[in-house]
Chains A and B, each alone.
Chain A
Amino acid sequence: MPFVSQIKRQTDYNLYSSTTPIVIDNGASNFRIGWAGENDPRVIFRNIVQRPRHKTTGETVSIVGDHDTTLLKYFDCSRSGPRSAFDSNVVYQFEIMEYILDFGFDRLGANGSEIDHPVLITECILNPVQSRSKMAELLFETYGVPSVAFGVDAAFSYKYNQQHGICDKDGLAICPGFTTTHVIPFIDGEPVYKGCSRTNIGGYHVTDYLKQLLSLKYPHHMARFTWEKVEDLKMEHCYVATDYASEARLFQKGTKEAEEKTRCWQLPWVPPPVEEPPSEEEIARKAAIKERQGQRLREMAEAKRSTRINELENQLRGLEFLLQQLEQVEESEIPYFLKDTGYVSRQEIETALAKATQSLRKVKGEPKGEQAEVEEKTDEKYPLVNIPDNMLTQDQLREKRRQMFLKTTSDGRQRAKQKRVEEDLERERKNQLDEQKRLENPELYLGEMRTKYKELCEKVEQRKRLKTNGNHSNGNGMSGGVGRGERLNAAQRERMRLLTTAAFDRGKGEDNFGAKDEDWQLYKLMSKDNDDDDEGPDEDETELARVSSRLQEIDPTFVPKPESGPSQSAADMPRSRPLTKEDFQILLGVERFRCPEILFHPNLVGIDQTGLDETAGVSMRRLSSKDQVLEERLTNSILMTGGSCLYPGLSERLEAGIRMIRPCGSPIKVVRALDPVLDAWRGASLYAAAVQFPQQTFSRMDYFEKGEDWLRGYQFQYNL
C-alpha cells in the first residue's frame, strides 16, 4: 500500500488544555504528530523539505512533505532536491527541522502565541547530546514549549505491543527503520542500552538499491524511476526469500514457478501508427511528377546540346572561311594577315579545325570513325624514323626524335588494346568452360563454386586483417576503444619501431653509424614509399568478385557476405526494429528479493556490518548475561517493528537466521508488531497520557538553569 500523507489542518487545537502533551514521532522517513491519549496521529507527512525557487517571482520558498507533484510546475526544482534533516537517524540540520516542526504544528492547528503543551518527541537510541540539546533549544526557545521528553521510537513500539500481549517484558526489539536498523534488548520492560546494536542499513538503502538496479537494467526508462515510484514498487512487490541461493537458482533455471513470481510493470505505451501503403493514385501521381521532371531535364540537355552544336558549326565555318582567304594571301603576308585573328600559322588553324570537327562529331553523337584509318597511316606519318641519323640535317634530327616519341606511345597504346582483346577472349573461354562444367554436373559445380568462394573469402579477409593488423586480443572485442598503436598496419609499425630505435640509439655509446654500407639500408626501410597500401584490388579479390557474381547468377539461395564485418550490421539491427509493447515493460524478477536481501547481507551494498539476524546475536553477546534462562526468554519474544519489516517472509527468515546462531533446541519466537509503522507513535501517545509522564519530562526552567550538559544524563523510564 503506497504511503498517503495526512496533512489536513486540524481545527480542534484550542479544545485541548495546556496540560495535554503533543506527541511527535520524528522518524527519518515520516513525521507524525498528534495528541497524547489518542489512538492515531493527526498529521502524517514525509520528513522532507524542498526549497525550490518560484519561476516567475524568483523567491525561494519552503515546501514540506510531499505534495501533488503537478503543482511543482510553478517552481524550478532543478537546483534543490528534497532534503532531510537526518543523517543515520540523527537530526543534524536544524533549519530543515524547524521547517518541518513549523508545518507540523501549523497543521495540528496551533494558533496561540506559543506552543503551550508539553512535547514528547522521539529520537534515535543514544542520540548524541549535541543533537538532543539542539532539539531542546529549538523547542524551548523558538516554540516556547513548557517541557520536553525524549524517547526512543522502537522502545515505545515494544511497550505498546507488550501491553497488547504480543511480546513479553523480556525480549528483543528488532527495528529495521528507514536509514538504520536497531536491535534493542528489553529486560523487565526496560531497554538495556548496553546490549543495543545498530546497523546502518534500512529502507532507504533498499529503495536506492532497487532504483539503481532498475535504471541500470532499463537505461532507456531511467526517468521513470523516481524515488516515489520505486518506493511504491518496493512496498508492493519486494519480499524476503527464505533462502537466497535456492530462490535465485529457481530464477536462473527459468522454472515456471519463477515465471509466476516475476512481476511486470507496463509503462504507458501507445502503439505507433501503422503506415498505410501508398494508394494507386498516390503512386501514379508520384510517377507523373518524376516523369515531368525527367522530361524537363531532357529538354534542358537537348537545348544545351543544340546551342553547343550551333557554336561549333559557326566556329567551323569561320575557320573554313579563314582558310579560304589564306589561299589568296601570299606566303609572306600570312603573319600580318593573321595578326588580329589570334592564330599564328596555317597549321595552327588546321589543327583547330580538326579539333572543332571532332568535338562537333562527339556532340552530335557520331562514331569516331577514322581511328583505325589514322593508325593505318602510321608509316607515312613517321617518315624520318627509319632513316639513319647521319643522313639528316639538324632540324630533321629534331623532327625525327619527335616522331620516334609519338610512334612509341602509339605503339604502346596499340599493344594495350591487343592485350585487352586477348583478356576478353580468355575470360570468354573460361566462362564457356565453366558453363560446360555446369551443364555436365550442376550439383558438383555449385559445390565447387561454393567452396571456392569460401576459400577466397577467407583469404581476402586474412589479407585485410594482416594489413590493418586487426589486433582483436583486446578483451572488450568490438566495443573497447582501439588503442593508437592498433590502427597501424604491419609495415607502418615496423617503420615506427625502426624510427624509435634509431632515435633512442642516438646519443648513447659511440656513434659508428654509417661505418658499414648496410647501415644506409635503414633509410630505405624507414622511407614511406615502402608501404604497399594502395596497390589496388589484387587478383584474389577480382576472382572473388567473379565467383560471387557467378554464384548469384546460378544459385538463388546465395547471399554474398556484407563488406563491413557482420558484427556491425548485427549491432544496427535492433535499432531499426520498431518498438513494441515489451520494450515498455519493467520486469521485476530477482530484484524482488535481491533488494531486501541487503538487510541480511549489508555487504551487498558495500556496508561491512552484520545483517539483521546476526545483529540479534551480537546484541545478546553484548548483554553478556551468562544467564541461559534469560537468553531463552529474550529469544522467545522477538518483536519486529519499523517500516522495513513489512516484507513478506521476513519473520520466517529471521527465525531461521537466529536459530542458526542459537544453541540447539532453544525456543525462538518471532512476532511482528501490530502495526509496525504506527505502533511507535501509539506507544508514545499512551505513555504521554499516563499520570506519571510529567515526572519524566524536563522543563524550560531546568533547561535554562542546568544547561544542555544536564541532558547528557537524561534517561527516560519506560516503565510507568
Chain B
Amino acid sequence: MEAELINAELVLPTHFSFKRIQIYEKYPKGQPRGRWKHLKQILQAENYQNCPPDEPNYVNIESPPSMHPPLRICDITGFEAPYHDPRTNLRYANTDVFKLVRSLPNEHVQRYLALRNAAVTLK
C-alpha cells in the first residue's frame, strides 16, 4: 500500500488491541455475513401489536398525516402552481413552464415526479 495512504491512516486497521473479538473473527473473509435485519424487520420483531396501545413505542410516535391544506408548487420552478398537466401529471405555474413541461423527455418527467414520490414505478 502506498506510503501516502499509510501516513494518512486512511484505512482502518483490522486488528485492535482493545477489542475482545476482532472483526476478522466475527466476519471471516469469504464467508457470508450473518443476515442483518432491515428496520422494517426489526420493527416487526418487536411485536408492538401485543403492547397496550397507549404505551408509546417507536412506531406509534410517528406523526400523523397533515391536516393542513397541502402546498402545491410548480415541479419545475417552485412557484405556486395553480395548474396541473393531465398528460405528465406535473404541476406548473404558467404557460412558459407548460411549454417546458411538454418539451421535457419522459425520463425527466419521471425524475421530477419521483421527487415528490409520484413517479410511475414498474414492479
Residues of chain A having any CB pair with chain B under 8 Å: 9, 54, 57, 61-64, 67-68, 71, 74, 87-88, 90, 92-95, 98-99, 102-103, 105-106, 110-115, 124-131, 141-144, 183, 193-194, 196-200, 209, 212-213, 216, 244-245, 248-249, 251-252, 475-477, 479, 590-591, 594, 597, 601-611, 614-615, 618
Q: Residue B105 at the A interface, CB < 8 A? A: yes
For residue B68, which residue of chain A has the nearest CB? Answer: A614
Contacting residues, chain A, for B105 (C-beta < 8 A): 479
Residues of chain B having any CB pair with chain A under 8 Å: 1-2, 4-5, 8-13, 16-21, 23, 26-27, 33, 36-39, 42-43, 45-46, 54, 56-58, 61-68, 70-71, 73, 77-80, 87, 93, 102-103, 105, 108, 111-112, 115-118
Of the A-B pairs whose beta carbons lie under 8 Å apart in the complex, a sample of 21, sorted by A's number, is: A62-B11, A63-B12, A87-B38, A99-B23, A102-B12, A102-B23, A106-B13, A106-B16, A110-B16, A144-B18, A183-B63, A213-B115, A244-B71, A248-B78, A594-B78, A603-B66, A605-B115, A606-B117, A608-B65, A610-B67, A610-B68
For residue A183, which residue of chain B has the nearest CB? Answer: B63
Q: Is the CB of A605 within 8 A of B42?
A: no
Contacting residues, chain A, for B103 (C-beta < 8 A): 476-477, 479
Q: Is the CB of A248 within 8 A of B68?
A: no
Q: Is the CB of A128 within 8 A of B115?
A: no
Contacting residues, chain B, for A87 (C-beta < 8 A): 38-39
Nearest 8 pairs of A and B residues by beta carbon? A606-B117, A590-B78, A87-B39, A62-B12, A594-B78, A193-B56, A197-B63, A601-B71
From B5, B36, B66, B118, residue with most partner A Cβ within 10 Å: B66
Q: Is the CB of B21 within 8 A of A105?
A: no
Contacting residues, chain B, for A143 (C-beta < 8 A): 18-20
Distance to closest chain B CB from A51 (angstroms): 10
Q: Is the CB of B58 within 8 A of A590?
A: no
Contacting residues, chain A, for B71 (C-beta < 8 A): 244, 597, 601, 603-604
For residue B111, which residue of chain A has the nearest CB? Answer: A216
Q: Is the CB of B61 within 8 A of A198?
A: yes
Contacting residues, chain A, for B65 (C-beta < 8 A): 608-610
Q: Is the CB of B61 within 8 A of A71?
A: no
Task: Check A216/B42 contact, CB under 8 A, given A248-B78, A591-B78, A611-B66.
Answer: no
From A57, A476, A594, residue with most partner B Cβ within 10 Å: A476
Kindly identify which residue among A88, A197, A251, A602 contacts B79, using a CB–CB cutoff of 8 Å.
A251
Q: Is the CB of A130 within 8 A of B37?
A: yes
Q: Is the CB of B16 within 8 A of A126?
A: no
Contacting residues, chain A, for B62 (C-beta < 8 A): 197-200, 609
Kindly identify which residue among A110, A194, A213, A476 contacts B102, using a CB–CB cutoff of 8 Å.
A476
Kindly identify which residue among B13, B16, B26, B39 contacts A92, using a CB–CB cutoff of 8 Å.
B39
For residue B25, which residue of chain A has the nearest CB? Answer: A142
Q: Is the CB of B56 within 8 A of A196?
A: yes
Q: How far is the CA of A252 from the CA of B45 in the complex (A)?
A: 50
From B9, B18, B68, B79, residue with most partner A Cβ within 10 Å: B18
Q: How far is the CA of A126 from the CA of B51 in the complex (A)?
A: 14
Task: Check A141/B56 contact, CB under 8 A, given A71-B8, A74-B5.
Answer: no
Task: Check A590/B61 contact, CB under 8 A, given A88-B39, A142-B19.
Answer: no
Q: Is the CB of A194 within 8 A of B56?
A: yes
Task: Check A92/B61 contact, CB under 8 A, given A106-B16, A142-B19, A594-B73.
Answer: no
Q: How far is the CA of A618 from the CA of B60 in the complex (A)?
A: 12
From B17, B43, B56, B118, residue with most partner A Cβ within 10 Å: B56
Q: How far is the CA of A641 from the CA of B39 in the complex (A)?
A: 25
Contacting residues, chain A, for B27 (C-beta < 8 A): 95
Distance to closest chain B CB from A61 (angstroms): 4
Q: Is the CB of B56 within 8 A of A99?
A: no
Distance to closest chain A CB from B11 (angstroms): 4
Task: Check A129/B46 contact, CB under 8 A, given A216-B108, A609-B63.
Answer: yes
From B11, B13, B42, B63, residue with most partner A Cβ within 10 Å: B63
Contacting residues, chain A, for B111 (C-beta < 8 A): 212, 216
Contacting residues, chain B, for A141 (C-beta < 8 A): 20-21
Q: Is the CB of B39 within 8 A of A590?
A: no
Kindly identify which residue among A114, A199, A209, A213 contacts B20, using a CB–CB cutoff of 8 Å.
A114
Q: Is the CB of A614 within 8 A of B66?
A: yes
Task: Check A90/B42 contact, CB under 8 A, given A125-B61, A248-B79, A476-B103.
Answer: yes
Q: Is the CB of A111 within 8 A of B19?
A: no
For residue B34, which residue of chain A has the nearest CB? Answer: A95
Q: How far is the CA of A129 from the CA of B67 in the complex (A)?
A: 32
For residue A591, which residue of chain B has the nearest CB? Answer: B78
Distance to closest chain B CB from A590 (angstroms): 4
Contacting residues, chain A, for B42 (C-beta < 8 A): 90, 92, 128, 130-131
For residue A608, which residue of chain B has the nearest CB? Answer: B65
Distance to closest chain B CB from A594 (angstroms): 4
Q: How far is the CA of A87 from the CA of B80 in the complex (A)?
A: 33
**Other contacts beyond A62-B11, A142-B20, A609-B62: 19, CB < 8 A:** A87-B38, A94-B36, A95-B36, A111-B17, A112-B18, A113-B17, A114-B18, A141-B20, A197-B63, A475-B102, A590-B77, A601-B70, A601-B71, A603-B71, A604-B71, A604-B73, A609-B63, A609-B66, A618-B64
Distance to closest chain A CB from B34 (angstroms): 9
Kindly identify which residue among A95, A590, A604, A615 contacts B116, using a CB–CB cutoff of 8 Å.
A604
Kindly identify which residue among A67, A102, A142, A252 contacts B10, using a CB–CB cutoff of 8 Å.
A67
Distance to closest chain B CB from A148 (angstroms): 15
For residue A589, which residue of chain B has the nearest CB? Answer: B78
Contacting residues, chain B, for A90 (C-beta < 8 A): 39, 42, 58
For residue A116, which residue of chain B has the nearest CB? Answer: B18
Distance to closest chain A CB from B38 (angstroms): 7
Q: How far is the CA of A410 from the CA of B18 in the complex (A)?
A: 112
Q: How far is the CA of A113 from the CA of B116 in the complex (A)?
A: 51
For residue A607, which residue of chain B has the nearest CB? Answer: B117
For residue A92, which residue of chain B has the nearest CB? Answer: B39
Contacting residues, chain B, for A194 (C-beta < 8 A): 54, 56
Contacting residues, chain B, for A604 (C-beta < 8 A): 71, 73, 116
Q: How far is the CA of A479 from the CA of B103 in the complex (A)?
A: 6
Q: How far is the CA of A112 from the CA of B17 in the complex (A)?
A: 6
Contacting residues, chain A, for B63 (C-beta < 8 A): 183, 197-199, 609-610, 614-615, 618
Contacting residues, chain A, for B5 (C-beta < 8 A): 71, 74
Task: Check A212/B39 contact, CB under 8 A, given A99-B12, A614-B67.
Answer: no
Kindly identify which residue among A62, A114, A209 contacts B115, using a CB–CB cutoff of 8 Å.
A209
Q: How far is the CA of A708 from the CA of B103 in the complex (A)?
A: 59
Contacting residues, chain A, for B45 (C-beta < 8 A): 130
Contacting residues, chain A, for B17 (C-beta < 8 A): 111-113
For residue B70, which residue of chain A has the nearest CB? Answer: A603
Distance to closest chain A CB from B72 (angstroms): 9
Kindly identify which residue among B37, B57, B79, B115 contacts A126, using a CB–CB cutoff of 8 Å.
B57
Task: Check A61/B108 contact, CB under 8 A, given A114-B18, A114-B20, A618-B63.
Answer: no
Contacting residues, chain A, for B36 (C-beta < 8 A): 92-95
Contacting residues, chain B, for A127 (C-beta < 8 A): 58
Q: How far is the CA of A529 from the CA of B40 in the complex (A)?
A: 68
